[in-house]
Structure 1
Amino acid sequence: MQEITSVQNPIIKEVYSLHQKKRRNELGLFLIEGYKGVSEALSSKLQIKDIFISSDFNKPLTGFPEDKIYRVNEQILKKISTTESPPEIIATAYQLKFSIEDLFKTNNPLILLLENIKDPGNLGTIIRTAKASDVSGIILTDETVDIYNPKTVRSSAANLWKIPIIYMSTKSQIKDKLNKLKSNNFVATVVAENKKPISYYEVDYKKPTILMFGSEAEGLSEELVNQADELITIPMNKQVESLNLSVSVGVVLYETVRQRRFKQ
């Protein structure tokens, strides 16, 4: 275990730079803030670069690699943390790399496709819910927020590294590309009634399925809606315009759980 006392230390400067997406991408690193997140990252065999703990940290460090631990003062923790009240422990970890094939490693995949999601908290919550409901993998398209945004990492509650996530820049033939790996039922969520969607619980999710969701502000693009085999909506009170995106995803995903886990 080593000690760092200055915010001008090159290691601290590098960690602070991870607040920016550009530097995260350049270095292939991201921040994990808090004891639970760091502990679960180590348990999941995520590759950790460095761990920074406060000088008065007193939780057990069993299983923590001592050669990667730095004791630091409160000033340094405030510098490298992205929260108003810094946690007692912060780690840097190497970003994960997945391929499209990683999404299809189960016999009956359930894949989430998210388009143009801007809110990092929403994305993190969706990742957490996806893992809880046995989603096989997640595809992100368009200008979706960086999955290694610190708020996304925190909101995922240590589930970010437990599920394959990939980016696909081209949407025009996404159905053809995915169906080359396995024939899937493409299900798109829409709000417009003129599309004549059915209720989300009327779909058979027991077969290989791609569930597509767009942003709260814009919904799914026509480019993706036109590739769907089925269009769904969530029935709600007419006085309510819409649900939060992460809530909508959770509602539909738990119908897939009901059908897949509790088959009639």
Structure 2
Amino acid sequence: MFDAGRPPAPLMSNPRADRVKETAKLAGRPARLKTGRFLAEGPQAVREALAAHHSATGAGRPGVVLEVFATPACLERLPELAELAHGLPLRLATDEVLAAMADTVTPQGIVAVCRILSPTLQDILALRPKLLAVMCEVRDPGNAGTILRAADSAGADAVVLTAASVDIHNPKAVRSTAGSLFHLPVVSGVEFEELAAALHDAGITILAADGYGDQNLDELQDASALRRLSPDSVTGAGETAGRNSAPRLEDPSAWLFGNEAQGLSAAQLDASDHRVAVPVYGEAESLNVGTAATVCLYASARAQNR
């Protein structure tokens, strides 16, 4: 244990020690599934994990962080990390030990072992969410991280990953979230049919981000702005949107974002209430799924928060 007011515990210096090997195994999915733990690497991710830990324990919920490993140089450079880790096992280790634990080639001097939190879809829907981001078989860790960061920035209530999507606790995915993984609930492994039925039962409009959609996102934003400025001037402004009318971005919504190569499947498109296209004004064939997700989520966030 490391305590700024006491002599530090012996420096971990053997990169082949059993404890180091067990921690390193969390980079693999089998160990994460078996232990319910994952790794957060680097100062930014660990800082957000520790902040989430204290927020959870302060509210009487289980903590997020189980233990932290750091080099003396990292803690000298960033002493606030040692302060945030107060009350948790914080062990000093050499650069070689951190390199053996971490997934990155050049770790940044600190790694946290975190608990995988597993909220259910029912847990999320019970909170009456206004905005959800749904990844439908998104498999690239970088894209998944970008979508999760966009959802966090847009104030979404939760992120849902359907079955066959990337493991969001994969070290590459965790890094790509830049700490946003610790800011909002994430539900993984949901079967799409179950998800669609639950969303419809909850009265949440399902919007499919589809380059060939018949709804234009710019026009939906214009209509939302007009309703906000002059509600009486828009026919049907007080009515709930259905499949035969344009969706209202201010209504509770779940955005579907599809697989990088195939996009959304026919079944996923059929289950959606509306297919919405982000207009492309230049020569690009299409938008990357992470970029499209950012645009769509912010459009809903702007409508819902004005």
Counterpart for residue 30 of structure 2: 22
Q: 1:47 aligns with which of 45, 58, 64?
A: 64
Q: Show the 5 A alignment for 1:198-237.
A: 198-201=215-218, 202=220, 203-237=247-281
Q: Provide Cα deviations, 1:212-262, integer angstroms capped at 9, x if missing partner.
A: 110221110111100111111111136311111111000111111221112
Counterpart for residue 125 of structure 1: 146
- Following the alignment from structure 1 to structure 2, what is the Cα–Cα distance between the partners of residues 240 and 67? 49
Question: Is 2:285 the counterpart of 1:241?
Answer: yes
Q: Show the 5 A alignment for 1:61-76.
A: 61-65=82-86, 68-76=89-97
Q: Show the 5 A alignment for 1:1-264.
A: 1=1, 2=9, 3-45=11-53, 46-57=63-74, 58=76, 59-60=78-79, 61-65=82-86, 68-180=89-201, 182-192=202-212, 197-201=214-218, 202=220, 203-237=247-281, 239-262=283-306
1:104–1:136 contact (8 Å) kept in structure 2: no
The AA in structure 2 aligned to 1:161 is F
Cα displacement (A) at 1:167: 2.5
- Following the alignment from structure 2 to structure 1, what is the Cα–Cα distance between the partners of residues 285 and 193? 29
Q: Provide Cα deviations, 1:14-55, integer angstroms capped at 9, x if missing partner.
A: 111011111111111111111222122111114222211113
- Following the alignment from structure 2 to structure 1, what is the Cα–Cα distance between the partners of residues 72 and 34? 30
Cα displacement (A) at 1:89: 0.9
- Following the alignment from structure 1 to structure 2, what is the Cα–Cα distance between the partners of residues 173 and 64? 39
- Following the alignment from structure 1 to structure 2, what is the Cα–Cα distance between the partners of residues 173 and 77? 41
Of stretches 145-154 and 202-211 in structure 1, the one that deviates more from structure 2 is 202-211
2:139–2:260 contact (8 Å) kept in structure 1: no
1:197–1:232 contact (8 Å) kept in structure 2: yes
User: Secondary structure of the residue that 1:44 maps to in structure 2?
Assistant: helix
- Following the alignment from structure 1 to structure 2, what is the Cα–Cα distance between the partners of residues 86 and 127? 23
The AA in structure 2 aligned to 1:232 is V
Cα distance change on mapping 1:228 and 1:67 into 2, 3 Å? closer
Cα displacement (A) at 1:173: 4.5
Q: Which runs of 5+ in 1 are unaligned?
A: none
- Following the alignment from structure 1 to structure 2, what is the Cα–Cα distance between the partners of residues 99 and 230? 25
The AA in structure 2 aligned to 1:49 is L
- Following the alignment from structure 1 to structure 2, what is the Cα–Cα distance between the partners of residues 261 and 186? 19
1:53–1:71 contact (8 Å) kept in structure 2: yes
User: Secondary structure of the residue that 1:226 maps to in structure 2?
Assistant: helix
User: Secondary structure of the residue that 1:118 maps to in structure 2?
Assistant: coil
Cα displacement (A) at 1:63: 3.0
The AA in structure 2 aligned to 1:179 is H
1:103–1:109 contact (8 Å) kept in structure 2: no
2:136–2:257 contact (8 Å) kept in structure 1: yes
The AA in structure 2 aligned to 1:186 is I
Cα distance change on mapping 1:177 and 1:86 into 2, 3 Å? same
Q: Provide Cα deviations, 1:41-80, integer angstroms capped at 9, x if missing partner.
A: 1111142222111133302121313651111111111111
Cα distance change on mapping 1:7 and 1:173 into 2, 3 Å? closer
User: Secondary structure of the residue that 2:111 maps to in structure 1?
Assistant: strand
The AA in structure 2 aligned to 1:142 is A
Q: Provide Cα deviations, 1:84-127, integer angstroms capped at 9, x if missing partner.
A: 21111111111111011332254452111111111101111111
- Following the alignment from structure 2 to structure 1, what is the Cα–Cα distance between the partners of residues 156 and 277? 20
1:96–1:161 contact (8 Å) kept in structure 2: no
How high is the TM-score relative to the length of structure 2?
0.79
Of stretches 39-48 and 126-135 in structure 1, the one that deviates more from structure 2 is 39-48
Q: Which has the larger radius of gyration?
A: 2
- Following the alignment from structure 1 to structure 2, what is the Cα–Cα distance between the partners of residues 63 and 120? 28
Q: Report the structure, 1 or 2, having the larger helix content.
A: 2
- Following the alignment from structure 1 to structure 2, what is the Cα–Cα distance between the partners of residues 47 and 234? 37
